[in-house]
Structure 1
């Protein structure tokens, strides 16, 4: 169910859309989409259940990521260095945990977090220096908030 690598060093790749159905992938392993400097958008298939550490890293032009319903946690190093990403809307997701240092150095100005979020770990959105607006769908659901989350 896991893919070894979706794309590695694809200099012209702009969009990744993972399929649903018989050819769907349930696990996105470490560095499965890596070193693609033109990548702008990633959409995971609905059957995707697990994202490994560093699944997406170092995409200066990445503007959007669609997280499917099956994903309940974002791992450490999931999304790192995406200065072109202006907003991250996770409201429609079922995320329960955003791990420590999960989403670093993003260009986001707006961040929307889902009502299902229970744990927001230390440094989850560290070095997002343009961040101006954070919206929690249900802040009372948060049971754990780490240090220096933003």
Structure 2
């Protein structure tokens, strides 16, 4: 498409992921191979993001909702040209039933996080957060120090 090829770094990070070339179709759901691949998973919930919130993410999210899927759009992983455009796209998706989540919320939803002491819990997740959400990693490390030195009791 007009956005160019998928960056090699992403392909290298996910060597076993299916790659479906869409040949110009903006809405991935309109590509029969993509649609069949999603349907073949048997899943009813889809987490997605796109290059642009107002087109790539919204078009697919709305199509998935129309097809009966529960859709979670990662609002941190999609971008657009200005705040107003993002707000309008997010409002449109929310009105259709798409749930907007941050990367942090997506990570915790995936493991059905209810307690940091469960597995996977803090020890398994903090390296990810340190790398990809350093603000939260800093907060978690400060909390750990406060527990260790007795300022706080708990985790």
- Larger-Rg structure: 2
Higher helix share: 2
| Fold agreement, TM-score > 0.5 | no
Task: Using structure 1 for the length normalisation, give the TM-score.
Answer: 0.31
The two structures have a TM-score, normalised by structure 2, of: 0.30
